[in-house]
Amino acid sequence: GAVVSQHPSRVICKSGTSVKIECRSLDFQATTMFWYRQFPKQSLMLMATSNEGSKATYEQGVEKDKFLINHASLTLSTLTVTSAHPEDSSFYICSAPGPFRDTFGSGTRLTVV
Amino acid sequence: DAKTTQPNSMESNEEEPVHLPCNHSTISGTDYIHWYRQLPSQGPEYVIHGLTSNVNNRMASLAIAEDRKSSTLILHRATLRDAAVYYCILRGGNKLVFGAGTILRVKS
């Protein structure tokens, strides 16, 4: 079946630095990918839709300059958290839609200290 | 996106069937009913989906009410590995909008 690989699985960074998270579709092409954020004991919140070859579409309230999304190929989307702060600490998850189901990455636990 | 309502939590005994309800009274005619589950510290996993008819797969069954305003996910024999948050989602477009889901606890 379809597999989405997400790296890293966990990362700790210092406040003010940037962190890049990668999401790869391993055995299929994904012109669209989704990025979610999940705080402890809460549900997933859609942050943005990543579109191959064009600009990402951000959900209301998500800062596009802080969460940079690049979808340079049909198998890779990246999310860069710029100038990270402790409040950006969260579980970030990507997914790729299929004909009838979405395939999710395993998530990235970001801790900003 | 149409909203779904699920119980906050449910508990089951191992090896027994589990029925997870979902209400979606504002469902539109073209919305599919999707179920995903999320194990701790993992991304969600697809479980099952349907439109009007009941559906079965190797993981679960989905029973859809005739008026489509509610549905029930059925795990036929719960195992400890089924302990997760189960999300019932209506999908009319490309996006999945997650609600709070139901925390399923399975007792041995």
Q: Beta B55-56 vs B61-64: how paired, if at all?
A: antiparallel
Mean of pLDDT over chain B: 95
Kindly state whether A90 is in contact with chain B, defined as any CB-CB distance less than 8 angstroms. Answer: no
Chain A environment of B100 (Cβ under 8 Å): 43
Check CB contact of A79 with chain B, cutoff 8 Å: no
Name the strand (E) or helix (H) holding B102: strand B102-107
Q: Which amino acid is at A58?
A: Y
Token couple for B92: 């009319």
Residue B81 neighbours by CB under 8 Å, 6+ apart: none
Position B1 pLDDT exceeds 80: no
Listed residue (B98, B70, B77, B68) closest to B86, CA to CA:
B98
User: Is A37 within 8 Å of A88 (Cβ atoms)?
Assistant: no
- pLDDT score of A3 more than 90: yes
Least-confidence region, from A79-88, B15-24, B44-53, B92-101: B92-101
Name the average pLDDT for chain A.
95
**Residue B93: band (very low, low, confident or very high) from pLDDT cuts 50, 70, 90:** confident
- pLDDT tens per residue, range B46-86: 999 999 999 999 999 999 999 999 999 999 999 999 999 99
Best B8, B9, B46 residue to mutate vs chain A (most A CBs within 10 Å):
B46
Question: Which of B34, B41, B100 faces A107 most closely, judged by CB atoms?
Answer: B41
Are B95 and A106 within 8 A, CB to CB?
no
The residue among B96, B97, B103 with the most chain A CBs within 10 A of its CB, best to mutate, is B96
Answer whether B26's CB lies under 8 Å from B5's CB.
no
Q: How far is A94 from chain B (nearest CA, A)?
A: 8
Place of tokens 């998850």: A93
Amino acid at B43: G
Instruction: Provide the Cα torsion B9, B11, B17, B20; round to 10°.
Output: -10
Contacts of B92 in chain A (CB under 8 A): none
Q: What is the pLDDT of residue A25?
A: 94
**pLDDT tops 70 at residue B33:** yes
How sure is the predictor about B17, in pLDDT bands with cuts at 50, 70 and 90? Answer: very high
- Round to whole Å and give the CA distance between B15 and B8: 22
Q: Cα B100 to chain center, whole Å?
A: 12
- What is the distance between the alpha carbons of residues A43 and A67, in angstroms, rounded to a whole number? 19
**B97–chain A nearest CA distance, Å:** 7
pLDDT per residue over A24-35, tens digit each?
999 899 999 999
Tell me the residues of chain A between 19 and 78 that have a Cβ less than 8 Å away from chain B: 32, 34, 36, 43-46, 49
User: What pLDDT does residue B44 have?
Assistant: 98
pLDDT-derived band at B92 (thresholds 50, 70, 90) equals confident
Task: List, in sequence order, every beta strand (DSSP E) within A1-113.
Answer: 4-7, 10-13, 19-25, 32-38, 45-51, 57-58, 67-73, 76-81, 90-97, 102-104, 108-112
Chain A residue with minimal CA distance to B42?
A106
**CA–CA dist A75, A29 (Å, integer):** 5
Number of Cβ atoms within 10 Å of the Cβ of A69: 24
Lowest mean pLDDT among A1-5, B14-18, B47-51, B104-108: A1-5
- Does A43 contact B43 at a Cβ distance shorter than 8 Å? no
What pLDDT is recorded for position A1? 76
